[in-house]
Structure 1
């Protein structure tokens, strides 16, 4: 039995499909089972609730050989570190209590970064908790998600631009969520691995944001440019959306670390996944832009 958290999210939903395609027994933890696709709901065991609740995990984990762990994003959490650790402490205790042998967690690249990195540091703290659970643990260590650009579709379709805080002429490591799901599925269906390890998961490109804009323009058939946003402007944008001081600090620290190369060491050693940025634009971004 494989237990999957966040089964309706971008990564979790694709992972569930991959596991079911291999006829694996899957149990999902989901806040609202009605959000599952009908074809999924009829083939999985369902436990409703949040995986930061001990009772929910006590219902979901008996008999589980492996667990897929992802902390869902929250705009309300006053401290992202405590939010991640709240999930991780409950999860690690439940894994130990039920003798789950293998855990695959979604984390960030850059373990060992020497300065605070906001939400990325929170993910590293989560990994330490889960790694101490007694289970074999793989922290899938990722850079920038290509899917983050889907949140800027209006700007891409309208003014023809997207915005990040990083330099336009420096390579930005990226990954497609379907490749994350693929790596997770491989690990969850072959439990021969042991110990604790951070596993970098990076796409094959070495594109700059300016280069990404050029690919997007070609694939969408209209001009799209990259415009760098200052950290002060990004902080102001977060505050305009209701973020508190700690939330702003958590996010700006993360993007500052990205700007200063937090992903570089893992990028140098990662084995590239299969989905390049152009393929992702053609198969994911363009259909979303045309919808």
Structure 2
């Protein structure tokens, strides 16, 4: 079979970066997108085969996987339904003779998680493990992109508000994850059956991140550490109930140290040292100004 890779969530942060790297490697890519828009049009212009479909619809997934040698599976963290979607994806991959699945999980995925989404990710991992299709799981800590989600408040109030207290973790960029995804899908047999926790290069508190923002922007940015119930109220009209329940549960996990740690997996898999927060924020300086 000619090597052809399916990237789900291809216009999202990790999927888009994985497509970029796969194209650099000369690997044929099919992108599964939820809607046809400017972003999917740009992919087509670059030679990517675009298919529109819903990752929660069995026939859509089956059609997207036809003729695919390896596939990246990612499900939105903002909504429920991952367990059924995973079962559809695993069965369709089996029927279509897909040789490998790379599954985006999360570092908080575990049987006893208080987050419904994190617990569901753990169950989804077990479904893939039992599917008969070789699988690799990646489990990133919090994305560096979390800082950009609150860029409006940074611009308007010179304040970064998050519920992580004084916890330390090493934010990991979507680009580094995309590079990992591409490297694994380019040579999947070397990674079958493995689970990779993914971290950025240096553990930081949000006070540290605020100092980096201050340095890059040339003005004082303050980290306002919000208590978790207060942060849930803050998100009430901004996120779904499912997403809020997840964020509040993993905020406590973060405070308890679950998201902490570093390792060399990104460098070992991609040959590239992961991006630090100074470089990341500097590259996006304009959105915070």
TM-score, normalised via structure 2 length = 0.89
**Which of these residues, 142, 146, 151, is aligned with residue 144 of structure 2?**
146
Structure 2: 5+ residue stretches without partners: 267-272
List alignment gaps of at least 5 residues for structure 1.
none
Offset of 1:239 from its aligned partner? 2.8
Q: CA deviation digits over 1:110-161, x for unaligned, max 9?
A: 4546442332222222212122221221111111111111111111112111
Looking at structure 2, the residues matched to 51 and 139 of structure 1 have their Cα atoms a distance apart, in angstroms, of 18
CA offsets, 1:34-53, max 9 Å, x none? Answer: 33354421312221111221
Between the aligned partners of 2:210 and 2:40, the Cα distance in structure 1 is 34
Which residue of structure 1 aligns with residue 195 of structure 2?
A: 198
Q: Is residue 219 of structure 1 aligned with residue 223 of structure 2? A: no
Which among 155, 173, 176 is matched to residue 173 of structure 2? 176
Please state how far the C-alpha of 1:247 moved relative to its aligned partner.
5.0
TM score, norm. by length of structure 1: 0.88
Q: Map 1:53-64; keep pairs closer than 5 Å.
A: 53-64=57-68
Q: Cα deviations across residues 248-281 of structure 1 (Å, max 9, x unaligned)?
A: 43332222122212224xx255546420111101
Q: Match for residue 254 of structure 1? A: 250
1:21 aligns with 2:18: no
Shift of 1:62: 1.7
1:288 corresponds to: 287
Q: Which residue of 1 aligns with 2:269?
A: none
C-alpha distance 118-253 of structure 1, shift in aligned 2 (>3 A): farther
Q: Secondary structure at the match of 2:138?
A: strand
How many Å apart are 1:173 and its aligned residue? Answer: 2.8
For this pair of structures, how many residues does the alignment match? 279
Q: Tell whether the 8 Å contact from 2:33 to 2:40 is kept in structure 1 after alignment.
A: no
Name segments (4+ residues, structure 1) moved above 6 Å: none
Contact 1:146–1:277 under 8 Å retained in 2 = yes
In 2, the alpha carbon distance for the partners of 1:27 and 1:156 equals 37
Q: 1:55 to 1:112 in 2, by over 3 A?
A: closer
CA RMSD in angstroms comes to: 2.0
